[in-house]
Structure 1
Amino acid sequence: MNFRTRQFVRNRFQQYYKTHEVYLPPSFDAREWGFIMFDELPGVRMRRHKAFGSKGELSDYLSGMAPSHAYYSTAYYTYPAARNMKEKGWQGADLIFDLDADHLRKQGADYAEMLENVKTETIKLNCFLTEDFGFDSEHIEVVFSGGRGYHIHVRDPSVLKLESGARRE
């Protein structure tokens, strides 16, 4: 992307952030935030270890910096802005299921069919989580992940402290 195009797009993002309310995940102030900017640097670089104490603080950062991508951790920390992972003070994490359309590829399926397939599988998994595992639907959030599929966030207190091995299983 050339300089003028990058500046135009960045300005549009800045206008968006100034005029739209940003979705905040539960306990946003206990999460680490990371951003990718409209940089001239070679390659993509994530700017991590950010934390925000208020919605206004996050909104000011977004409208001022106008990142091209914004991410938040699934984990909750005592000190989410700490540079060292040990210093962050892990408190727990959401249980995340990542369903990608291209991982469920059926022979001859086009993009729309792949998305329909992953949507069907997401609905099945959501039903399994509520009906078989008994998670309350109030503790489950399903989000479209931006072109490839869906993420299911389980925020039930019973899964908050699960270790990584148990999460994978």
Structure 2
Amino acid sequence: MPASARLGAEGEGFKIAMSALDHGRLGVAAGALGVGQACLDACVDFARMRKQFGQRIGNFEMIQSAIAEMAADVQAARWLVYHAAWLQSRGERATRETSIAKYFATEAAVRAANEAVLLHGGRGYSNEFPVERYLRDSKGMQIYEGTAHIQRIVIARELLGKE
């Protein structure tokens, strides 16, 4: 290959590929954060609107608990994504942080979407509300740029060292 066609110095191909993966994983994590936030927003709106047994379902402790847990997951994912993005913006190596953000944000999005479908009842499985789409989208995000299994391997190798 001619030198003019190279993306970097000779022998740096793997480093460039890993940097691209880090950026891609951060993008997926940010998308998953968006899905989680959309699920939370949909659940809050629905819990305020939907009445069951003469009162809004948001008054039920189980619904409140589900929404609180979802909010905690979304906020934790947000800070993990922001931290990884901050490191990347400074030009620092952030393989561990992007893998952690991707792993946590996608798993949190799936949990949020699952709960959103359940909270919406039978309507959650229909296309009457967007939460059914969020569930499909979040499942795809678990796979893009490396599954949860792969992210755990990357995180562990970053912590333990590579052999």
Please tell me the TM-score bracket, short chain as reference: under 0.3
* Larger strand proportion of the pair: 1
Q: Under a length normalisation based on structure 1, what TM-score does the superposition of the two structures give?
A: 0.22
Q: Under a length normalisation based on structure 2, what TM-score does the superposition of the two structures give?
A: 0.22
Larger Rg: 2
